[in-house]
Structure 1
């Protein structure tokens, strides 16, 4: 299993609480509104690495 914290380190969601949600989805909690779009884009770009 991929260590999600390591994968997102240095990206907009880095340092935020991260884990797995329903159906194996990737969840990032407490994303500040001004980082929401950039965090989503970073998570989307990491899909080949995380598989989620």
Structure 2
């Protein structure tokens, strides 16, 4: 069974693509984007297989 690790990343609206591209290069897969706790800045939720 695959074990996963997760991360949440705050996104800057004017730089979203670059932020997601950088995390993707490190093997992170985007799961979803939701509004942040303050309701304005979105937060990306990502996962990748955990290395044991």
Q: TM-score, normalised by structure 2?
A: 0.39
- Greater relative CO, 1 or 2 (CA 8 Å, sep 6+): 2
Higher helix share: 1
Bigger radius of gyration, 1 or 2?
Answer: 2
Higher strand share: 2
